[in-house]
Chains A and B, each alone.
Chain A
Amino acid sequence: MTAHTTTPPEIGGIGHSLKRVEDARLIEGQGNFLDDISLPGMLYMALVRSPVAHARINGIDIEAAMAVDGVLAVVTGELMAAHNLAWMPTLSGDTQAVLATDKVRYQGQEVAAVIATDPYIAADGAELVDVDYDVLPAVVTPQQSLDPDTVVIRDEKEGQTDNLAYEWECGDDAATAEAFARADRVVSIQTHYPRSHPAPLETCGIVADVNPVTGQATIYMTSQAPHAHRTLFAMVAGLPEQNIRIISPDIGGGFGNKVPIYPGYVVATAASLVIGKPVKWVETRTGNLISTGFGRDYHMSGELALTDEGRILGLRVDVLSDQGAFYSDAQPSRYRAGLFHVVTGSYDFPAAHITCRGAFTNKAPGGVAYRCSFRITEASYLIERLVQTAAYELGIDPADLRFRNFIQPEQFPYETPTGFVYDSGDYPTALRKALDAVGYEQLREEQAEARAQGRLIGIGIAHFTEAVGAGPAHTYDIAGLKMIDSAELRVHPTGKAILKLGVKTQGQGHETTFAQIVAEQLGIPAYDIKVEHGDTDHTPYGLGTYASRSTPVGGAATAVVARKLADKARHIAAHLLEAAVEDIEMAAGKLHVKGSPDQAVTIQDVALAAYTNLPEGMEYGLEDVTYYNPPNLTFPYGSYIVVVEVDPDTGVWKVERMVALDDCGVRINPMIVEGQIHGGLTEGFAMSSMQWITFDEDGNCIGSNFMDYLVPTAWETPRFELLETVVPSPHHPIGAKGVGESATVGSPAAYVNAVVDALAHLGVRNIDMPVLPDRVWEAIDSAAS
């Protein structure tokens, strides 16, 4: 696929599949990940975690641990409480225990920390910390949790008399009731989007280095949001913000897991502050899976009101979310269920009403946006499963039902019944193109023939719309911090440049793509532009990388700051060429007088002049900074089609085709975009087929390691066929929308719809994720009986 470009390959602006700058160090083992950092005199921390889900702590005996040669300190909740740090705020306005004082409320909760001279010794010490627990009954489902007779989990919380974490509603109840009253048909579905874990291959970690003399706190941290974390550290720990420097080094995958501030970070920093030496803490895999930010765990009931002709009139949704012991969704503070209200999806209908309740349970807290923009994955899944169900109930082809209800291209900007204003799109073209690519009509015929032979073929469609790039300051903040982002650009006298970003890559390739954005605007070759990010002392402020916000917000800031410099460059060029500014044209790194292409200077000439030869009164230098407050979110979308064959005897299903059409607006680096989509499609496959965090009746986490928590290998992962359309975002400076999460958001419904479609003629309407073979087999079996 040839992307549209306006610059030659040697400049490498937008649309070029440039090889990545970051690869050079990573393919030679010269990356600098958190655990690679070693400082003189560094100490090591190991956490003591609760083995039980719910218990009162009667006492903690640290004597044996302290007796280990090399153990320097054992930190307990009591000690943290003495510094007013036993509890910390969450990103959803709740509080979370740093180290448990009164009770433990989930298995894996942090109870104590051992500081030692060696990581093996720290682990030895942690084994020897003796905690006396008085075990309490565990509450492991949100339904059980909200039963009035259930014990109050958060009894430490003033005014908390039940296990309700939050209540939230959105939309128009009356209008929705009216839509249902005039509906010919009502179709409903109940489904659980199971708890999943982002499980980046690098776990979370920190090296906290607080200088006892200067008070300077240099904190290396696996952080997707270093600037926000600096401010939160200042607010929570009371450290002066100018003395806090967060450095987020190379990150081995984030996927939302590295957005929250975890207890380990706080304890390691406090320990370094008290001891006066650097303290390193690197989470174990089990620690990562059982205690840090999970995603999903939404119990959803959805109802669609329809006419007999298949027009959707209204949508009603009720959600019960399992929040674990602390309500700590990383989400904009205005919305208690993230952006779940994008649940109306890609369809044009007038009324929707959504109610959400969250319940505390004896499970790990989290609710992070796992490769998703704040609960959009759950929303997209529900509407696409509902539409599929409606198609069966109405006897209308699932593709056709979507065409009948799509928002039409001419309706954009389109305001949804829950208040989003979708920026742009052409849904019918996207779905048609995907259907043609997969050979949909013929596949339906093949499916019918296969059924006649007793074979089970399924074709699953999902057409998703995301809402990403949070977001406009009037609506979006996290913990009070507006969700703007920034870029600072300096062009040096030799025409090379450095771009400093508020966002932070975790593998998305920012060091390449953001340079391409500058190359497009200024004509400086992308490889002549160094991109710096992740160090709060050296980059301008921003809220970080998650919710697909880097390109929509940070990318926009980059384009705008580069345009500011382009404007100054024109003025300098006019001076050098002795022409009027209005007559200076700029393309691909050359600035020339209109109509006289030979009367030209290069951007490199201009860069030198910026420091040596300026027009009268102009300030020296060629640099600027932009803080970008996006006017709206962006709304990427796509049409995904999955073909599966299900073995009727075993319930095992295999993906035969996966065709994914994405429209993410303008593609900066098509190679990187496609890589992101491959990854997202794989995570969607993971959640739909195998990946889940579950618990036994005592609250023991089943899925505490990679032998029990299955993530797909190359062997199981399907092959993908990618397609694209490009409808630019009208409000983004370069028309880009963001793509990192689209495939994770859109694909689970396509996989599940495919398996259900294979069994639809048997009357099967739903199988919850993960769609394990035994669940499929049971669905077939109960349909038969």
Chain B
Amino acid sequence: MEVTVNVNGTDHTADVEPRKLLVDHIRTVVGLTGTHIGCDTTSCGVCTVLLDGAPVKSCTVLAVQADGRSVTTVEGLKSGGELHPVQTAFSDEHGLQCGFCTPAMMLVGAALLEQNPDPSDEEIRWAISGNLCRCTGYMNIVKSIRAAAEAKATAAAGADS
């Protein structure tokens, strides 16, 4: 059936099988491979995207369910040619190693900061607890999201003054 999904600000219309998973749709039809697949059981979270701004595991959403909705993937985090503060922070704070879980972690971090601009370490850990990482032990991921919160606050203060 025909579905139109807005991905990172651009509408993509395609004829998709009803059983097609959103993650496969994003990767193979839209052609953005920054969203990964890690487990098939909604456990690892590496397929996380933002659906109308909220994190979802795109291996457990059908492409048809995203019809008429907007999806943000890692490729859409940047705006106006500028990296999102979480992207900068992940690199600055060594929040990634192999990079496979990273797009999802950054999206969850970005969504958290929209809801809660000043999260505690505990709140960050809870927010990312649906996303697995096997390389970093999470400490630097938490630090990265904290650093992004601080960078956003500094930028906002700068804009206000």
Contacts and interface: CB of A to CB of B under 8 A. Distances in A.
Contacts of B96: 23, 26-27
B160 to A, nearest CB: 28
A675 B93 CA distance: 10
A719 interface: yes
Nearest to A36: B33
A719 B99 contact: no
B38 A707 contact: no
A284 B40 contact: yes
Interface string B95-136: 011111111001000000000000000001110111111111
Contact of A201 (B28, B35, B38, B77): B38
B106 A27 contact: yes
Interface residues of B, number: 57
A675 B140 contact: yes
Interface in A21-40: 22-31, 33, 35-36, 38
Contacts of A24: 91
A508 B92 CA distance: 16
A574 interface: no
Nearest to A38: B28
A720 B142 CA distance: 13
B46 interface: yes
A720 B137 contact: yes
A29 B134 contact: no
Interface in A715-729: 715, 717, 719-720
B30 interface: no
A714 B138 CA distance: 6
A735 B135 CA distance: 25
B136 A201 contact: no
Q: Mostly helix, strand, loop or mixed at chain B's interface?
A: loop
B84 to A, nearest CB: 9
Given A29-B73, A200-B98, A714 B41 contact: no
Interface string A347-362: 0000000000000000
Contact of B94 (A20, A203, A715): A20
**Which of A30, A38, A198, A675 has the most CB atoms of chain B within a 10 A radius of its CB?**
A675
A255 B97 CA distance: 13
A507 B98 contact: yes
A180 to B, nearest CB: 41
Interface string A275-300: 00000001011100000000000000
A286 B44 CA distance: 13
A678 B19 CA distance: 40
B100 A715 contact: no
A672 to B, nearest CB: 7
Contacts of A507: 97-100, 135
A14 B16 CA distance: 52
Contact of A250 (B87, B91, B99, B138): B99
Indicate the size class of the contact surface on chain A. Answer: 35 or more
Contacts of B27: 35-36
A678 B98 contact: no
A711 B102 contact: no
Contact of A705 (B43, B99, B132): B43
B128 A714 contact: yes
Contacts of B78: 28
B41 A706 contact: yes
Nearest to B104: A201
A27 B40 contact: no
Contacts of A711: 132, 134
A683 interface: yes
B37 interface: yes
A713 B74 CA distance: 21
Nearest to A203: B38
A506 B99 CA distance: 9
Contacts of B101: 201
Interface string B46-75: 100000000000000000000000000111
A680 B137 CA distance: 8
A285 B38 contact: yes
A201 B91 contact: no
Contacts of B87: 27-28
A701 B152 CA distance: 47
Contacts of B130: 713
Interface string A230-263: 0000000000000000000011110100000000
A31 B32 CA distance: 11
Contacts of A36: 27, 33
A706 B43 contact: yes
Contacts of B128: 713-714
B39 interface: yes
**Which of B32, B90, B94 has the most CB atoms of chain A within a 10 A radius of its CB?**
B94
B102 A253 contact: no
A202 interface: yes
A93 B80 CA distance: 57
Interface in A478-536: 506-509
A681 interface: yes
Interface string A171-202: 00000000000000000000000000011111
Contact of B99 (A22, A38, A672, A720): A22
Given A199-B134, A203-B38, A26 B139 contact: no
Contacts of B124: 714
B134 A679 contact: yes
**Which of A200, A202, A676, A683 has the most CB atoms of chain B within a 10 A radius of its CB?**
A202
B20 A120 contact: yes
A285 B17 CA distance: 23
B40 A705 contact: yes
A19 interface: yes
A672 B103 CA distance: 20
**Which of B28, B34, B75, B139 has the most CB atoms of chain A within a 10 A radius of its CB?**
B139
A450 interface: no
Contacts of A286: 40
Given A201-B46, A252-B36, A678-B140, A29 B103 contact: yes
A23 B91 contact: yes
A508 B99 CA distance: 10
Interface of A: 19-20, 22-31, 33, 35-36, 38, 119-120, 198-203, 250-253, 255, 282, 284-286, 506-509, 671-672, 674-676, 678-683, 705-707, 711, 713-715, 717, 719-720
21 contacts: A23-B99, A27-B106, A29-B103, A30-B34, A31-B99, A199-B134, A201-B46, A250-B98, A252-B38, A253-B100, A253-B135, A255-B134, A674-B94, A675-B97, A679-B97, A679-B136, A681-B137, A713-B132, A713-B138, A714-B128, A714-B142
Given A201-B44, A285-B39, 20 more contacts: A19-B92, A27-B87, A27-B96, A28-B75, A29-B35, A29-B73, A35-B27, A120-B20, A200-B134, A201-B36, A201-B134, A202-B38, A252-B100, A675-B94, A675-B97, A682-B136, A705-B40, A705-B43, A706-B43, A717-B138
Per CB-CB distance, the 9 closest pairs between chain A and chain B, nearest first, are: A29-B34, A507-B98, A252-B100, A26-B99, A706-B43, A678-B137, A682-B137, A29-B74, A507-B97
Interface of B: 17, 19-20, 24, 27-28, 32-41, 43-44, 46, 73-75, 77-78, 83, 87, 90-92, 94, 96-103, 106, 124-126, 128-142
